[in-house]
Structure formats: structure tokens, C-alpha cells
Structure 1
Amino acid sequence: MIKTASFKYPMASIESLDFDARQVKKNTIINLAAMGFVTTATNLIITGPTGAGKTYLSCALGIEACKKTYRVFYIRMPDLMRNFEDRRDDLKELTRYRKILGNYNLLIIDEWLNYKLNERDAKMLYELFEQRSGNNSTIFVGQFPVSEWHDRLGGGTQADSIMDRIVHNAYEIPSSETNLRKIYDSKKLANLKAEIEK
């Protein structure tokens, strides 16, 4: 199940999280890892700057869901929209693909709203979340706060409808401002340098 979920970090684990650097309560993540949010079809929103460890955290939670035999799928939003676009001229295939995504117990969408959507793309997302709303959980992973989502979804009533199906049934986990990628990469580089210069 972990393999077919296509996680970016298939070895991510709750145990390896640096809670101090993330400035998030350990109990919060441990409680989320019990998967009550999936049982109740509640969404999670993980926001924060580049390098804050958002993707790793989402994968760690996704892997916990797999361990509890929930069906999980990870996808980057650019890939999701490209897949929609590739099927746009074949309504049957587009509907089939959307149904597959809609039926995952937990769908993780990374790089959420990193670019603004046009009306056509927003409509495709609306149909997906209309299917998932109240039935399955989605983890949204992105840099932009919820307050900016409406505009990035194209504004107007369609953005209202998408937001309504996401945020009213969501728990938000803001990430720390610490660039964890920079810290960990610096440590790896220092260790490699020390090994080379022995």
C-alpha cells in the first residue's frame, strides 16, 4: 500500500520528526497519526514556507494511514492538473480518473495552489472535491495561507464552492518558519566534508 501510494518520501516516519525544529506539539501529530481525521473524513491543511518539512510530514501521516490499511495516494498539484488536462477531451476517461481519486480514503495534494488556476481548472477541482467532501479526507500541502486560496482558485462563486468543501471541515497545521531542508542539507554536507578530509 505504501508503494502504490507514490509518496515522495516513502521512508518518512512520525518517529523521525524533529518536533522542536518544527515548533509543533508532539501530541498533536501523535493524535493525528491515530487516523481519527481519516475516520471522520476531516481534511488537513499543512502550510508554510519552502523547506519547512511540509511534504515530509504529509508523507509520514500518509504512511501511518497505509499501516492502518487506508487507501492513500500522493500527488503534486501540477501533475494532478496535467492529468486532468490530458483527459479533458475524453469525458469518460476524465470521469473514471476523477472517480479513482475521489475514492481514496486519504488523498495528499502537494504544492497546493502554487500557481493560480483558471476557470476550467477550478471546475475540474470542484468536481473532485464535490465527490470527496464528507466521504474521504484530503491533506493539502502548500506555501500559501488559507486566506489567499480564494483568489488563487480564480475567485467568484466557483472558488466559494471549492473553499466550502475544503476549509469548513479541516484542521490546519501551520509549519515553522525554519528551513529544515537547509539545516539537514548543511549537516549532510558537513559530514561528507569531514569524511573526505579524514
Structure 2
Amino acid sequence: MTTLQRTFEGRSEIEVVGIYEESFSAKAPGRVQFGEMLNRIERGDADGIVAWAPDRLARNSVDGGRLIYMLDCGVIRDLKFATYTFENNSQGKFMLQIMFGQSKYYSDALSDNVKRGNRTKIEKGWRPNQAPLGYLNDPDTKTIVKDPIQFPLIRAMFELMLTGSYAPKQIAVIARDEWGFRSPSRRKRNGEAGRRSRLVQSTGS
């Protein structure tokens, strides 16, 4: 049982007809589970939503506007939140719109700050985000430094490539089998094949 379910457990005025767990962010429209939930409400399967907080429902103008419109039309009769009390009247809908707007502003401002930080790093000659193979992210200086173990191996791989005698896959095999080189696993890449594809890419394939 989730925290949200425990919060509203035993409430006689609430009958749960479906539970939706959305894995996509509310920052942008197009969430499949969210859309299916609203479609069921429009079909008359339910007339309300229980959620943890307003920003879990919408942090974009499209979804927020749709919810407000469904409240205006009486399709949605009530919204229940664990962290906020909503009243379905003119003032309640006005405050809900403000909360949706604040959530959108927070998401937009966070995105702007991240982009500005990355742009500043680039202007200073630093690489933003994750360090490439052979380097490490230094948490103290917020810069990228040479990896004392991996960097010499990466350099040796490029030197082999410059001889013109080795194909990228051959270099990858040498680095793995003879030098014991291992690159970090990446998302959606599992096992040896994932490490090899990363290594080949880094040596110019």
C-alpha cells in the first residue's frame, strides 16, 4: 500500500475505481497513463481524482488547462490531495491555477538554470555533464580531470589507431583482454556488449 493510499484509507466518501502510476514527468503533455485516467473520467467511470499534490497532476499549461476546464464543466467534481485542500468553487479553481502555474515556473526556471550552468562551463572551456572515458568529474572543483588509471589506456588506444594497423574493434579487444580496460556501464547498455560499443565509439568507430 502506498503512502497516498494509506492517507485516504477508510474515507467513506471516496470509492477508488482505478489506480494510475505515471512514470513520465508532468512537465510536458502526452502522458499515457494521465490521458487514460482523464478519458475514463470523461466517459463517466469516475468524477474525481486523488493525488499527492497538484504538481503531480500538471506542471504544463495543457494538462493544467484541461483539468480546470473539466472542473468548469462538472466532469470532474472534486480533487483530493494529501498535501493540499482543494474546494471546487471559483476561489478554489483560481488557487489551483496559480499552483499549476507555480509548478510550471519552477520546472522552467530549473531548466533555465541548468542550461545557464552548462553554457558557463562551455564558455570556460569545460565539458558539461558526465566526463568522457579517461576523465573523472571532480566534485570539489566541479570540473573534469584526468583519470590516473583510465587516461593512459585511452591515450594508448588512440596511439594504436594512429598507426593505421588496427581497426577500432581490434583495439577494443586488445584494451579489454590484454590491458584489462573496462568502461563504465551506461543506461540501456548491459554487460560486455555495452562496454564494447562504448569503447569502439570512443576510439573513432
User: Does TM, normalized by the shorter one, top 0.5?
Assistant: no
Q: Normalized per residue, which structure has more helix?
A: 1
Q: TM-score, normalised by structure 1?
A: 0.29
Q: TM-score, normalised by structure 2?
A: 0.28
Q: Normalized per residue, which structure has more strand?
A: 1
Q: Which of the two has higher C-alpha Rg?
A: 2
